[in-house]
Amino acid sequence: MRTNQQTTLKTSVTLTGIGVHSGNPAEITIHPAKANHGIAFLRTGTTTGNDRLIKAHFACVSATELCTVIGDVETGAVATIEHLMSALYGLGVDNALIEIDGPEMPILDGSARPFVEAIDSVGLALCGAARRWIKVLQPVRIEAGRAFAELRPIDRGFRLDVEIDFESPVIGRSRKAMDLTPAAYRREIAPARTFGMMKDVERYWKAGFALGASLDNTVAVGETAVVNPEGLRFADEFVRHKFLDAVGDLALAGLPIQGAYRSYCGGHRMNVGILEALFADRANYAIVEGQGTRREPARAEFGLSIAAFAAEL
């Protein structure tokens, strides 16, 4: 598949499961979309009875506590989008419409691998239009206590460098850095599962989170060991999953990024925050198409070809 051409799925593919936080059943169908459509979610089954079309864009993010949520909770939102967004970005999918019948994405096995396998099962198609990138022109950095996230320019591609540092001796401190390519993503990132501390479970339940979590979809971390009988898929699965999340959150830029991302003790809030910082100043980025570069407002890049539904802008 040529990297200078926009892509979509060859045909639709459906997955079902439960939400890791809500515990509610959910069905999604990933549909092909036309060139320059971008990624968008069609939320059905809302309390108002009106379907909502929500752009997968950082400007539509409404919450980042334990997961990334887009859209308005009152009129129709979609939670825990980061794993699917990560798979789409990791495989180089530019255009897709995700139809979902509930407020939260299915967690499946807690990783992006089921989404990758679903996309691979139908394959990708070229859209007949040049791919565009967001080129980072100068360093951008945000900080929160000891945590930080930054984007800086590089000559080509997208490189991520993610570091975690937990007090838990089971997780500890580790770092994962690599250039993002579909082959590397499938092999090294997609299988890494979400994780949580056993000591935090009761607090999460009281706050309305992790109601659908189980050993089938979450790596449970005890005081001295991983609780899951099968253990870890990678010795450093924890940081690989944080890398996976970062890819999914940064996909909310709306176009692929040409630049290098670095984070330390980051998370959904900082991943989205670095995009806000990047787009806050026109000197920070340019839109690049082919060999040429043009400057234009980033939000003008995300035209949606489906107009029959109320849009969450």
pLDDT tens, position by position, 130-154: 999 999 999 999 999 999 999 999 9
**31, 37, 57, 268: which is the annotated catalytic residue?**
268
Residues 192-204: what's their mean pLDDT? 93
Residue 311 pLDDT greater than 90, yes or no: no
Does residue 226 carry a pLDDT above 80?
yes
79 touches 63 (CB < 8 A) = yes
CA distances from 87 to 14, 68, 90, 111, 221 (A): 15, 15, 5, 9, 25
How high is the pLDDT of residue 206?
A: 85
- The answer to whether residues 62 and 72 touch, using CB atoms and an 8 Å cutoff, is yes
pLDDT at 295 over 50: no
**Predicted model pTM:** 0.91
What value does the mean pLDDT take over residues 72-80? Answer: 91
Higher pLDDT, 309 or 58: 58
In percent, how much of the chain has pLDDT > 90? 84
**Beta-carbon contacts of residue 294 (< 8 Å; ≥ 6 apart):** 286, 287
3-state SS class at 228: coil
The answer, yes or no, to whether residue 220 has pLDDT greater than 60, is: yes
- 122, 11 Cβ separation under 8 angstroms: yes
The percentage of the chain sitting over the pLDDT mark of 70, rounded to a whole number, equals: 92
pLDDT band at 303 (very low <50, low <70, confident <90, very high): very low
As annotated, the binding site for Zn(2+) includes 83, 241, 245
Which of 50, 22, 28, 59 shows the shortest CA–CA distance to 41? 28
- Residues tagged in the binding site annotation: 83, 241, 245
Average pLDDT over residues 9-19: 98
What is the residue type of 284?
N
Nearest Cα residue to 33 out of 105, 122, 115, 127:
127
Q: Mean of the pLDDT values across residues 252-269?
A: 98
268 annotated active-site? yes
